[in-house]
Structure 1
Amino acid sequence: MNYLAIDASTEACSVALQVNDNVYSRYELCPQSHSLRLLPMIDELLKEADVTLQQLDGLIFGQGPGSFTGVRIGVGVAQGLAFSANLPVVGVSSLQAMAQSAFEQYQQKQVIAAIDARMNEVYNGYFIVDDNNIMQAQCDEAVTPPEKLAQHFANIAPNAAYGVGTGWDAYSAQLSVLKSNDGSPEILFPNAVAMLTIGAAKFSQGLGVSAEEAQPVYVRDTVSWQKLPGRE
């Protein structure tokens, strides 16, 4: 099966394309430039793989949590492309994608993902690899003040786990006790390559939906934020 994955939920912008078991990818740190870079990156990959959107079997998008603006850009682009090519879509958590990268790159099987959510909070989730080598959430993703995160994970993750995401550096004094790896995490942002793995598994489970059903996941519900156009 051939899939395109895109993510713009954090400062990183990434695109990955799987065609006939070959993977093509682009990854850039480009804060404030996602709307300018995402479509050109997609076009580059399609040309490199010599395929069109219509030849793909589905589209995978980073659903958040992360930057409100970035998440909206990613979902909007995914919807537009899926509509144009009549493709089903699945959303993938940015936290789960980072945990998946930790497993694929560093063979880590227990991961806490923490993204700096600003406003003195972190988006967070705890993941353990399953029998199919997919990192699965062990609790609902949340947005939590850093000083309360240890208490939040006390019964969920009793031992220190491998840490990924920007939250560890932003709140190192409060969070370091939860992390087994020293220093700045090797993985700071989600990558669309890892989203290919998770998204393909979701498609195989029949979880693909139509483009109009693509939904962002902000996690933080205490901030007023308009829904995507047409979703009011």
Structure 2
Amino acid sequence: MNLLAVDTSAEGCSAAVLSQGQIFSRFTLAPRGHTRLLMPMVRELLVESKIASSELNAVAFACGPGSFTGLRIATGVAQGLAYGLDVPVVPISSLAAVAAQMIESQQVPEGASIAVAFDARMSEVYWGCFENVAGLPALIGEERVCLPGDVSIPPGPTSWYGAGSGWILQDQMPATVVGDMVQINPAMVPHAADVVRLAKQAWDEGRHVLAAAARPVYLRDEVTWKKLPGR
């Protein structure tokens, strides 16, 4: 199984290859360098992992939510590669990728939960809650965009951990939500190494699409991009 993953949904630009159970990855913080840096990363990783592009079984990408421009870049790269190689695309939630990173790096206990928040600008946050199930994040409810004061976590005895840039707005969040967090890491951004791990799970479960069906997930697009009357 050979998987390539790319992510440009936030400040980071990253790519990763999963081959023979080993992950090879590149990551850099470059908010304005995604277009310039991403494809050289991909080429370097294919050389390092010693596989040809023709040996890839699928291309994964962080589909959002996140930066509108960044999501378009990752979607275009994933679609272009998948079209050329005639392989499927595996869209992976950017929020889930950060939850996976939190589980991996902070050793969130089995059964504990992660509340991921991204700064969505316009005084809003992208919000998603996940449970650590066998070392991987399982979505609780739905991902959404909302005011920081409207975020919530499901009731229950589980321990909660916070991750993502949206937590810089924690002073605007309900005190009950912030107070339930065991630990908060606002510095975490999506990383293709986590995207590729989640893509392997998705692939095994048959959750992949044709290149033509790959779409970014904006969450707020139906609100922000309404057509004017008569247009």
Partner of 2:27: 27
User: In structure 2, how many angstroms separate the alpha carbons of the residues matched to 1:186 and 1:168?
Assistant: 5
The one-letter code matched in structure 1 to 2:144 is: A
1:1-232 pair list within 5 angstroms: 1-108=1-108, 109-130=112-133, 132-149=134-151, 152-153=152-153, 155-156=154-155, 161-169=160-168, 171-175=169-173, 177=175, 178-179=177-178, 180-182=181-183, 185=185, 187-220=187-220, 221-224=222-225
On the 8 A contact 1:98/1:187 being kept in 2, the answer is no
Task: In structure 1, list runs of 5 or more residues that go unmatched.
Answer: 227-232
**Percent identical:** 36
Task: Decide whether aligned partners of structure 1 residues 51 and 159 sit closer, same or farther in structure 2, where only a CA change above 3 A counts.
Answer: closer
Quick one: distance in 1 between partners of 2:113 and 2:164?
14
Mapped to 1, the partners of 2:218 and 2:11 lie a distance apart of 16
Instruction: Work out whether residues 168 and 176 of structure 1, in 8 Å CA contact, stay in contact via their aligned partners in 2.
Output: no
CA distance in 2 between counterparts of 1:129 and 1:99 reads 9
Amino acid at match of 1:117: A
Moved more, 44-53 or 77-86: 44-53
The 3 A distance-change label for structure 1 pair 225 and 75 is farther
TM-score by length of 1: 0.88
Q: CA deviation at 1:175?
A: 3.1
AA partner of residue 43 (structure 2): D
List gaps (5 residues or longer) in structure 2: none
Determine which structure has the larger strand proportion and give its number.
Answer: 2
Q: Is the 8 A contact 1:139 1:156 kept in 2?
A: no
TM-score, structure 2 as length reference? 0.89
Q: Secondary structure at the match of 1:60?
A: strand
Q: Deviations over 1:7-35 (max 9, x none)?
A: 11001111111111221100111012111
